[in-house]
Structure 1
């Protein structure tokens, strides 16, 4: 398994593992602990509300850590930051696996989140570079990036059954150590070097970190307690105000914490918005469908996890294939067709009832996954096209921040809609109404995609 990365030398399997394992581990760990919460609470003698911070602390720390990624990459170099972050993630995983109490486990999970935050955007920066659609992303990258969120609960269930909850952290150690060996073998020139003159932006960093954490915390509380609950509403409003404040601040300083340059380009901003919409439509089903299959259809969590696995594989393959089709048929045509197919496939959710076999549900999800995969890489190429290599970390960090904000708020709103409508009209009718919303979002995105360029423009020269 070899592939060209950053138009440089072809990389061996261990070197590719070094580049891809970081995103895989951090994305799997975003969801793998969910299934372990009851076991952790029982063994460590903690209540479930306290144990929930093992999950929430990781996600909030991950969001806060994202805001430092761009500056660290500029100041110290992309691959150096990636290697240090991966090593810290492995150490944090070891502490999690040996934690004797809930307090240390929550702290170690927060360290995991902070150290794992740079791994996805920095790996994307190396894989995509400034060549956009011209760069061929390794098929393994496409598979891992989209399979990882889906396999977390399934893998977690298997590891807990085999050896207990501590194994969900121990499994990171051998993979992480091998990945670190691969990082050390990566040749020079696969990513931009350090800029010793890069300056920090402490005020902007504080605005962005606090705004992002506040908004995500508010969205998570609102999903559980309701959108008018004081703590949730206060966190959402306060976090949103801080993010607006950061936007104004970023335009005024020379080196902001995260550069918003790509938002000045209308097509890049449109591609970013469409990418976030695609993520909301995709992951809403990933988060909401397990509730339906387990509470209405009475399937086990493991069976549900197996039904979700094919969509991760198909999305990854679709992303690799979509990259090649974009060069033949153009970005606009491929993205529009992808969103139309996504709308049609999402309408298939209206066919799911209490007696629908899981294999039928898996087929519907697979159709949605293929449509999403076709469009995501062309959208990234349009979004990143105006950026130089030196700005790639900022562009990919902004993409990840937008996905987290849009995904958390979008999925939270849809989850609240499902809960409210299920109480009034029943769980099946409520689920179908959510399916109608997802179908409408996909078709509206198809119309907006008509404003994309027919083809991605050549990348600019490196700064």
Structure 2
């Protein structure tokens, strides 16, 4: 596929078919980050493996994803946005098929590691094209893109439960094949978009090693904290090593003309604040996406299928809320919109304090819908705000850094919350621990709403304009 630039094309001129073709890759990548969680018991039973071993099907994917993200910005600059995206998509589909037919746990874990690595570029590069000033979105998040893209993470547990109930755990991977092939075919409808290849780009091996090592060590520390608890030294050592490596990379990148990932895309303190707020939003929002299924199944005794059905509405509402946030961001100043989103998150999170063993699933689903709608008011405006001052050639670095920050902060935060929720030895203690998590989430949402008022005013972010760092 050619990577040379053409005159500006907007999302409207492309049509929805081509746009959805570009979105299929990131949707599959994000789904595979969470959809496998509900399949772990079934995989362990069929492949006769221990749960500690099977957990690497999940952890291996996430750790390899971190390594792939560390390489994404360089690959995009060197070979061109759409060329890297297309190759990643092809490999992701092929490896998904290997996961589906894996006869043993060893091959499944290895295939998942490869799947995470090759799938890493899909989200940041698709966003780079969608938000490109001269690309698909013409500097604006298309409503349909917002609906689909931010719907995927919330649908992971739901879709996983439905697929396992209908055909078994192998369908969790097998479904990627026809859907991925469809996405590749629809890519043929796209004109040449995205940043072109720059053959003179140099690889930064030392910077890549520091960045990848820091990301893997930090995520591994969060994973160990979740599985082993925070009363052991290993999680803290891994987090410390990760922090040291990332801090070293920060100093290294500032002295390199072509670092593995450019950090100068963070334009001023407002951009740093945007990243902090997005991390907090990720912890507050997706903490319950992972914890509520545990609560409904272990405390309330519901099946995985019933839990999946109850979680389905929040995925739809999150997509609609994201589209609404995009529309409102053109009319309401950023600080007002984000503060409002966090305030609604705080209000809806108070319902977590009222959940009991007998709370109906529909009440839980309603609470999650309120949280999902509020998250939509925060996520898209902050993303567009962060990318606003960047040129076309900087979007891959900007989106990659945004994805890394979101995943890193979110993973550590959710891991800590998960450990708190799992601290109860009896049903009553587990319920108390879950209520404590709810109180923490409410506190974080209130603090985030106050922090949002430190964003510059007045700023509206409906379209990337290359102006304010938080515009």
TM-score of Structure 1 vs Structure 2, range by shorter chain: over 0.9
1:121 aligns with 2:124: yes
2:411 paired with 1:408: yes
TM-score normalised by L of structure 1: 0.93
2:263 maps to what in 1?
260
Cα distance in 2 for residues equivalent to 1:40 and 1:294 = 18
2:161 alignment partner, one of 157, 173, 176: 157
Equivalent position of 1:439 in the other structure: 442
Say which of 225, 230, 244 aligns to 2:228.
225
CA apart distance, 1:252: 1.1
Instruction: Find the aligned partners of 2:85 and 2:393 in 1 and give their Cα distance.
Output: 16
TM-score relative to the length of structure 2: 0.92
Structure 1 counterpart of 2:21:
18
Matching residue of 1:53: 56
- Using the TM superposition, name which of 128-137 and 289-298 deviates more: 128-137
5+ residue gaps, structure 1: none
**Which residue of 450, 460, 465 corresponds with 1:459?**
465
- The 3-state SS of whatever aligns with 1:375 is helix
CA deviations on 1:357-389 (whole Å, 9 max, x unpaired) are: 111111111111111101211111221122111
- 1:141-220 to structure 2, matched below 5 A, reads 141-188=145-192, 190-220=193-223
Moved more, 362-371 or 258-267: 258-267
Query: Which 10-residue stretch deviates more, 146-155 or 445-454?
Result: 146-155
Tell me the CA shift for residue 218 of structure 1.
Answer: 1.0
The question of 1:305 aligning with 2:308 is answered yes
Aligned-residue offset at 1:68: 0.5
Distance 1:145 1:108, change over 3 A: same
Aligned residue for 2:317? 314
Shift of 1:115: 0.8
Runs of at least 5 residues in structure 2 that lack an aligned partner in the other structure = 1-7
User: How far apart in 1 are the matches of 2:256 and 2:301?
Assistant: 55
Tell me the alpha carbon deviations over residues 426-456 of structure 1, each in whole angstroms, 9 at most, x when there is no partner.
2222222211111111111111111213214
CA distance in 1: counterparts of 2:380 and 2:50, whole angstroms: 43
Q: Which has the higher helix share?
A: 1
Structure 2 residue aligned with 1:426? 429
Aligned length: 456
1:35-64 CA distance string (max 9 Å, x none):
222332333333222222122111111111
Q: Residue 366 of structure 2: which of 363, 366, 377 is its match?
A: 363
Aligned to 2:333: 330
Q: Give the Cα separation in 1 of the matches to 2:140 and 2:327.
A: 8
